Amino acid sequence: MTTITADRPTKQYPLPDTTLTQRSVVSELRALLIMARKEWIIFTRYPSWVIAFIIWPVIFPLGAIFTAKALSGPDEASLPAFAALAGTTDYVAFIIIGLLIYMWLNITLWDVGFQLRNEQMRGTLESNWLCPTWRFSILLGPSLTKLGTSLFFLILGVVEYRLIFGVRLIQGNLALILLVLVLVIPSIYGIGVAFGSLVIRFKEANAMVFLVRGIFMIFTGASYPLAVLPAWMKGVAAWLPLTYAIKSIRDVSLQGATLIDILPELQMLAMFALIVPSAGYLIFRFTERRARRTGALGQY
């Protein structure tokens, strides 16, 4: 092999100025926001997505509502039995609240992984990863858009049901409902980040989403009272932050529960908010390191 020559070139060039591109909290936040903006722009450039986003909140809970209507019997004779389990006779509002919150959490939950997968498929994941931005920002930034749009989607669902079907979903303390939503977000992102790590590892999102989405749907009591679940399933439900979020919002909205009433659920949500994101971050760091060893980032 020819040995390396070290004698050219001799001309001295000025070093381009890189001092203007130093990382700071502000620049990192700016990066986070522009990632969200980028996703919003791409989202709005597919009009069919926007239309689906407006119609879906009305369509999704209808199946469960009509099933419940059929099961409620003549003159809604079975309603007292339902009320004994759910704490309310308003089964329509009960189902809509559960499913809308489930949908909101679901969209946010999977979005981290889906965004990563989309970037991988487009071929842009590596060019993002090449930038000196915090990896966690690249993970969370794009999904901030979905957090915002899905929150809008939740509000839209509430308004659409009020206008089209005359259902009043929010009857209790709105501030308490918002508190529950704020407390559940870190856990949702924690699970989302862990899921995103699985996407990097296995390069396939749909199969896992179908599996885990089904598990969440059943164990969180999105469309029925948790009281109907067998004991072992209730045990599993107790480990899911979504269970507490859906229950406490229903309690506040349909039964007028106060802060004291839902304090146990809030405590659980706060605990999850501390543990789940940390665990998600650790899983992500581990997977990212592994991806750099195996070259999985650029693979489809």
Q: Which is nearer to other proteins, 33 or 228 (CB)?
A: 33
Q: Which is nearer to other proteins, 218 or 297 (CB)?
A: 297
Q: How far is CA 252 from CA 48, 131, 282, in A?
A: 35, 45, 34
Give the nearest distance from C-beta 27 to other proteins in angstroms. Answer: 4
Q: Which is nearer to other proteins, 4 or 77 (CB)?
A: 4
What residues line the site for other proteins (CB under 8 A)?
A: 1-9, 11-18, 20-24, 27-28, 30-31, 33-35, 37-38, 41-42, 45-46, 122-124, 126-133, 138, 289, 292-295, 297-298
Distance CA 279, CA 265 (A): 21
Give the nearest distance from C-beta 225 to other proteins in angstroms. Answer: 37
Give the nearest distance from C-beta 219 to other proteins in angstroms. Answer: 24
Give the nearest distance from C-beta 211 to other proteins in angstroms. Answer: 15
Q: Which is nearer to other proteins, 5 or 48 (CB)?
A: 5
Q: Which is nearer to other proteins, 58 or 212 (CB)?
A: 212
Give the nearest distance from C-beta 237 to other proteins in angstroms. Answer: 28
